[in-house]
């Protein structure tokens, strides 16, 4: 799960149908149809709005101000990680959402097909900002990661952060996973409850 969580977090930070919840949040996508198609409870299930994102950004302020600035520009984060399940039910829904994103003008920024592993990353961009990212990862037949971040994310800041060679300075992914769990009211080592 740590690899799947790392992939989802890094991809979302560094990079008009029923699936879209366009209520003022241009980059927001409703990922619930995928969860419904899977029919299981996610191992990790985060749904943070602007207030939580600002609080999360503060946790980076001292160690990585650039990363804090990027997180501060995120209006919302939706992350679901599923493990130990049959992902075949999700594949058709992922294909449908991929088609919807293409039709709605989202840019297919990354597509990886490696055996049973599929990765799709879509961007919704204005002239100056990345307003939304959608990441969908089906890793083999038993792991799935779905993420959506939205806001006014400045690609210049992301470029500077990457160019500095310190993009992930101060980031401890084990602590990050624990922090996400505690922020969402869970225990990092606790088993899922039904």
pLDDT band at 20 (very low <50, low <70, confident <90, very high): very low
Place of tokens 């990353």: 121
- 135 sits in which H/E element: strand 130-139
User: Tens of pLDDT along 37-94?
Assistant: 888 888 888 898 988 888 888 888 888 787 788 888 889 999 999 888 777 767 777 8
pLDDT band at 106 (very low <50, low <70, confident <90, very high): very high
Closest C-alpha to 183, from 26, 22, 56: 56
pLDDT band at 8 (very low <50, low <70, confident <90, very high): very low
Q: How far is CA 68 from CA 36, 72, 149, 156, 171, in A?
A: 33, 6, 15, 14, 11
pLDDT band at 107 (very low <50, low <70, confident <90, very high): very high
pLDDT band at 158 (very low <50, low <70, confident <90, very high): low
Q: So what's the pLDDT on residue 12?
A: 43
* Angle (CA) 137 35 80, round 5°: 55
pLDDT at 103 over 70: yes
pLDDT band at 124 (very low <50, low <70, confident <90, very high): very high
Q: So what's the pLDDT on residue 188?
A: 41
Euclidean distance between CA atoms 152 and 108, whole angstroms: 19
Q: So what's the pLDDT on residue 92?
A: 79
């Amino acid at each position: 799960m740590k690899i799947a969580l790392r992939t989802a977090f890094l991809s979302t930070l560094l990079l008009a149908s029923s699936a879209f919840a366009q209520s003022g949040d241009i980059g927001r996508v409703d990922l619930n149809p995928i969860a419904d198609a899977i029919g299981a409870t996610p191992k990790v299930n985060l749904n943070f709005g602007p207030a939580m994102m600002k609080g999360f950004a503060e946790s980076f302020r001292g160690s990585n101000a650039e990363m804090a600035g990027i997180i501060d520009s995120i209006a919302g984060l939706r992350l679901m990680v599923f493990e130990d399940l049959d992902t075949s039910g999700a594949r058709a829904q992922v294909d449908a959402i991929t088609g919807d994103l293409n039709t709605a003008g989202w840019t297919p920024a990354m597509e990886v097909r490696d055996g049973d592993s599929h990765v799709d990353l879509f961007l919704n961009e204005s002239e100056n900002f990345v307003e939304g990212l959608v990441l969908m990862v089906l890793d083999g037949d038993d792991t799935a990661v779905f993420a959506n971040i939205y806001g006014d994310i400045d690609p210049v800041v992301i470029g500077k952060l990457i160019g500095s060679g310190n993009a992930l300075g101060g980031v401890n992914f084990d602590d990050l996973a624990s922090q996400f769990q505690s922020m969402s009211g869970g225990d990092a080592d606790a088993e899922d409850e039904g």
